[in-house]
């Protein structure tokens, strides 16, 4: 294009310009010179383009050799990313499963703690009613209860009996002859076999197990949390029983004073009555009274709100709540004594509820 512009400029030269042209410079010579100049520039540009193309071809060949390896690395990177995603999903699933197991284990332990609290309340009531005997402690130590956690393994039970007694076990936590008393704080004896199997399959589970009576060995000498709790409860039960005995013996002592016993017996009764301070006995018994009245408050309020006229039946319902299902025979033999000990407190709590309602 530059060459054509120069030719056009030469053809448009006016007469004035032609007069100024030297005599020896003809237009033909100038044109020939201009025709030779663009060819040299074109050759240079062509050679430069050829060199660029050659360099591009070499670069393309080098890239072509590296491209398969780059594609392999890209595929490996994609596979590694996919593997990491799967590993992350698997880890999240394991963490969720562990959290669920921890929640089940925590619920089971809380249930067993509530079960222990209920047993302590029953022991207090039994002590108040005079149900403790000196030989009871030795009898309970022969068959100890232990709290165990079952994570895995299979356990078969003797389904011909009402109790959940182990027939065979593949775990070290349970042995043949052991009886499952409670599962996650729920009484195993009150469960159907379907409910028991479903709860036992949801591992981990917390079990209270009554061991089969053994004649010795390390297992018989080990003390579990349950046995320790029972020992402490029985010590408290003995104190409460003594307090109840003092409470019940006071009216008898006053009746004996009204009679005319022999002189020696009268002096002994007088000395014993002088040694016992009524205020001290009442102070010792006050925690027990508060416990009994506190447990009566809710059923008494419900009795007053319902307008039920049968106070004896309502009192019997409350009394059965404090009765352990394992002591049916004892309760039947001591029913009158328990009734007479707790009925005055029930009447006072009911009267207080009526006063508040009015």
Quick check: is 90 in a domain?
Answer: no
Burial of residue 97 (CB within 10 Å: 0-12, 13-18, 19+) is exposed
Answer yes or no: do 168 and 48 share one domain.
Answer: no
| Strand-pair partners of 164 | 180
Among 247, 251, 252, 239, residue whose Cα is nearest residue 342? 247
Length of the chain counted residue by residue:
358
84, 103, 136: which is the final residue of a domain?
84
Domain-embedded: residue 292: yes
Claim to verify: residue 200 and residue 251 sit in the same structural domain: no
Residue pair 206/147 in contact (Cβ under 8 Å)? The answer is yes
Q: Are residues 177 and 243 in the same domain?
A: no
- 135 lies in some domain: no
Q: What is the pLDDT of residues 92-115, one digit of tens each?
A: 988 888 888 778 777 777 777 777
Higher-pLDDT residue of 332 and 277 is 332
- Which of these, 121, 101, 122, lies nearest to 184 by C-alpha position? 101
User: Rounded mean pLDDT of 207-224?
Assistant: 58
Give 318 or 16, the one with higher predicted confidence.
318
Between residues 42 and 273, the one the model is more confident about? 42
pLDDT at 294 over 60: yes
- What percent of the chain lies above the pLDDT cut of 70? 59
Q: Report angle CA 192, 198, 203 to the nearest 5 degrees.
A: 135
Give the integer Cα–Cα distance in Å for 173 and 206. Answer: 11
**Does 95 reside within a domain?**
no
Residue with tokens 């030469």: 10
In which residue are the tokens 């009204």 written?
258
Instruction: Read off the tokens for 1.
Output: 């294009």
The number of domains in the chain is 3
CATH number at residue 186: 2.30.42.10
Helix and strand totals (H; E) in the chain: 12, 6
* Prediction pTM value: 0.32
Burial code of 249-258, b = ≥16 C-beta within 10 A, e = fewer? eeeeeeebee
Q: Is residue 116 part of a domain?
A: no
234 and 217 within one domain? no
Is residue 110 a part of any domain in this protein? no
pLDDT tens-digit profile of 226-250? 444 455 455 555 555 565 555 555 5
295 with 343, same domain? Answer: yes
* Listed residues 222, 241, 271: the one ending a domain: 222
User: CA 237, CA 235: separation in Å to the nearest integer?
Assistant: 5
Burial class (CB within 10 angstroms; exposed 0-12, middle 13-18, buried 19+) of 17? exposed
255 and 346 belong to one structural domain: yes
In a domain, 161, yes or no: yes
The residue assigned the tokens 């207080």 is 352
- Which residue from 214, 282, 224, 219 is spatially nearest to 250, judged by alpha carbons? 282
CB proximity list for 189: less than 8 A, separation 6 or greater: 162, 163, 164, 181, 325
- Closest residue by Cα to residue 128 from 297, 293, 325, 303: 293
pLDDT tens by residue, 3-13: 556 656 655 55
In this structure, the answer to whether residues 202 and 299 fall within a common structural domain is no
Pair 251, 192 in one domain? no
Does residue 213 sit in the same domain as residue 235?
A: no
Q: Which two tokens stand for residue 136?
A: 């009871």
In terms of domains, do 207 and 263 share one? no
Domain stop point among 222, 257, 277 = 222
> Would residue 91 count as lying in a domain?
no
Q: Are residues 62 and 172 in the same domain?
A: no
Q: Which 8-state DSSP code applies to residue 154? A: -
Rank 11-25, 61-75, 118-132 by mean pLDDT and report only the highest.
61-75
Reduce the DSSP state of residue 300 to 3 states and report it: helix
Specify whether 232 is located in the same domain as 189.
no
Contact 210, 196 (CB under 8 A): no
Q: Domain range spanning residue 161?
A: 145-222
């Amino acid at each position: 294009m530059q060459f054509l512009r120069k030719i056009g400029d030469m053809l448009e030269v006016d007469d004035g310009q032609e007069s100024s042209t030297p005599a020896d410079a003809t237009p033909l010579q100038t044109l020939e010179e201009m025709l030779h100049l663009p060819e040299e520039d074109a050759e240079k540009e062509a050679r430069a383009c050829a060199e660029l193309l050659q360099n591009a071809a070499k670069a393309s060949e080098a890239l072509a050799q590296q491209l398969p390896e780059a594609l392999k690395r890209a595929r490996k990177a994609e596979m590694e990313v996919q593997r990491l995603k799967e590993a992350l999903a698997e880890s999240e699933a394991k963490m969720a499963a562990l959290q669920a197991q921890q929640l089940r284990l925590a619920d089971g332990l809380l249930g067993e703690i509530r079960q222990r609290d209920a047993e302590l309340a029953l022991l207090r009531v039994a002590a108040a009613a005079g149900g403790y005997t000196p030989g009871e402690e030795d009898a309970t130590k022969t068959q100890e209860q232990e709290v165990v956690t079952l994570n895995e393994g299979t356990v078969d039970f003797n389904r011909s009996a009402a109790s959940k007694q182990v027939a065979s076990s593949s775990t070290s936590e349970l042995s043949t002859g052991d009886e499952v008393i409670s599962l996650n704080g729920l009484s195993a004896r009150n469960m159907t076999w379907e409910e028991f199997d479903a709860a036992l399959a949801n591992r981990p589970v917390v079990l209270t197990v009554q061991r089969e009576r053994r004649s010795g060995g390390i297992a018989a000498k080990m003390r579990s949390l349950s046995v320790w709790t029972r020992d402490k409860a029985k010590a408290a039960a003995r104190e409460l029983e003594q307090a109840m005995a003092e409470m019940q013996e006071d009216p008898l002592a006053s009746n004996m004073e009204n009679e005319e016993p022999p002189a020696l017996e009268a002096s002994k009764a007088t000395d014993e009555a002088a040694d016992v301070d009524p205020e001290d006995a009442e102070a010792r018994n006050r925690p027990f009274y508060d416990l009994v009245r506190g447990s009566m408050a809710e059923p008494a309020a419900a009795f007053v709100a319902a307008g039920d006229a049968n106070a004896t039946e309502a009192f019997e319902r409350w009394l059965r709540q404090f009765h352990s299902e394992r002591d049916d025979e004892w309760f039947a033999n001591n029913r009158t004594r328990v009734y007479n000990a707790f009925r005055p407190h029930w009447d006072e709590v009911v009267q207080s509820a009526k006063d508040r309602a009015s």
